[in-house]
Structure 1
Amino acid sequence: MKLEVVVVPVADADRAKDFYQGLGWREDADVTTGEDFRVVQMTPPGSPSSIIFGTGVTSDAPGSTHGLHLVVDDIEAARAEMVRRGVKVSEVFHDAGGVFHHAGTRARVAGPDPERASYGSFASFDDPDGNAWFLQEITTRLPGR
Structure 2
Amino acid sequence: MDLKLEVVVLPVSDVDRAKAFYEALGFRLDLDRPVSEKWRAVHFTPPRSECSVMFGTGLTAAEPGSAQGLYLVVPDIEEARADLAGRGIDVSEVFHDAGGLLYHGHEAGDIVHDGGQEQERLAGPHPERASYGSFATFSDPDGNGWVLQEVTQRAPGR
Place the TM-score, normalised by the shorter chain, in its bin.
Answer: over 0.9
Measure how far apart 1:104 and its partner are: 2.7
Q: CA RMSD in A?
A: 0.7
| SS at structure 2 position matched to 1:66 | coil
Q: Residue 35 of structure 1 corresponds to which residue in structure 2?
A: 37
The list of structure 1 runs, each at least 4 consecutive aligned residues, that deviate by more than 3 angstroms after superposition, is none
* Aligned-partner Cα distance in 1 for 2:156–2:79: 25
Measure how far apart 1:13 and its partner are: 0.6
1:131 to 129, 144, 147: 144
- The within-5 A match list for 1:1-145 is 1-105=3-107, 106=110, 107-145=120-158
What per-residue deviation string (whole Å, max 9, x for no partner) do you get for residues 42-87 of structure 1? 0001001100000000000100110000000000000000000001
**Letter matched to residue 110 of structure 1:** A
* Aligned-partner Cα distance in 1 for 2:99–2:140: 27
* Aligned-partner Cα distance in 2 for 1:26–1:142: 28
* Aligned-partner Cα distance in 2 for 1:54–1:65: 14
**Letter matched to residue 35 of structure 2:** T
Aligned length: 145
**Letter matched to residue 94 of structure 1:** H
**Letter matched to residue 36 of structure 2:** G
Bigger radius of gyration, 1 or 2?
Answer: 2
Instruction: List gaps (5 residues or longer) in structure 1.
Output: none
Residue identity over aligned pairs, in percent, reads 61
TM-score by length of 2: 0.90
| SS at structure 1 position matched to 2:132 | coil
